[in-house]
Amino acid sequence: MTDPDLVAERKMQFLFALRSRGVTDQAVLSAMEHVDRGLFVRGLFAERAYEDTPLPISCGQTISQPSVVGLMTQALEITPRDKVLEVGTGSGYQAAILSQLARRVYTVDRHKRLVMEARGVFDALGIVNITSLIADGSFGLPDQAPFDRIIVTAAAEDPPGPLLAQLKIGGIMVVPVGQSDAVQSLIRVRRTETGFDYDEMRAVRFVPLLEGVAREND
């Protein structure tokens, strides 16, 4: 796609769809305007990168719907000093959005191939504040904990205990919760001095959070 008018029009439609679905935070909208989703979607589906729809990526996974990326990012209330953990790098798109708002982003995925591909895009975009790792993110990253913000982009049955433990007091975590393949609820957790406050945001559908690091050919 090279026609500049077409590019501008698609961008406008993309931002319009985000706003009409409730993404109203200006910093989040600017980040999503700045980071080209087209770079994170390959092959046949690249054409549809600016539609508000999830799309298939490598390893049988999906890049989330842009409005869901926007709503989850907005719910995190990120400040420029924050250290953020993302579980489920996938294409790297969500991490790239987070990198525009936070001081540092750690992102982990159980698929080596996804991590390598995402790193390639971060490098191409000149993003230097993302550290990406191959790991089972259900255990978080004890060496880098605690985190100001945590975002999980795969569905767990419950918010994983190690992630709750790695959230700072005053920190926020957003996580889809529910049985895989069923409708899940997007939950926002705030850690207080004395415990955790939970609020349910909306119904969503994510791929499941799976155990362990994937084998090479999975």
Amino acid at 125: L
| Catalytic member of 30, 58, 64, 138 | 64
Q: Is 94 in the site for ligand SAH (CB under 6 A)?
A: yes
Identify whether 146 is preceded by a cis peptide bond (ω within 30 of 0).
yes
With CB under 6 A as the rule, give the number of residues binding ligand SAH.
23
Query: Measured from the CB of residue 108, what is the shortest distance to ligand SAH in angstroms?
Result: 5
Q: Is 148 in the site for ligand SAH (CB under 6 A)?
A: no
Chain centroid to CA 16: how far? 20
Q: At what angle do helices 26-34 and 66-75 cross, to 10 degrees?
A: 140
Q: Is 46 in the site for ligand SAH (CB under 6 A)?
A: no
Record the tokens describing residue 104, joined without a space: 């540092």
Record the tokens describing residue 116, joined without a space: 């390598």
**Nearer to ligand SAH among residue 114 and residue 172 (C-beta):** 114
Q: Which of 65, 100, 153, 166 lies at the binding interface for ligand SAH (CB under 6 A)?
A: 153
How far is residue 118's CA from residue 5's CA, in Å, rounded to a whole number?
A: 29
176-187: burial string, b at 16+ Cβ within 10 Å, e else? bbbeeeeebebb
The alpha-helical segments, DSSP class H, found in the chain are 4-20, 26-34, 66-75, 93-101, 112-125, 161-165
- x-or-dash pattern for ligand SAH, window 194-213, by CB under 6 A? -------------x-xx---
Residue numbers 100-139 binding ligand SAH by CB under 6 A: 108-111, 114, 136-138
Query: Measured from the CB of residue 77, what is the shortest distance to ligand SAH in angstroms?
Result: 19
Q: Is 91 in the site for ligand SAH (CB under 6 A)?
A: yes
- Strand partners for 147: 167
For residue 165, give the 3-state DSSP assignment: helix
Confirm whether 180 is a catalytic residue.
Answer: no
Q: Is 174 in the site for ligand SAH (CB under 6 A)?
A: no
Residues with catalytic roles: 64
| Site residues, ligand SAH (CB under 6 A) | 61-64, 87-88, 90-91, 93-94, 108-111, 114, 136-138, 153-154, 207, 209-210
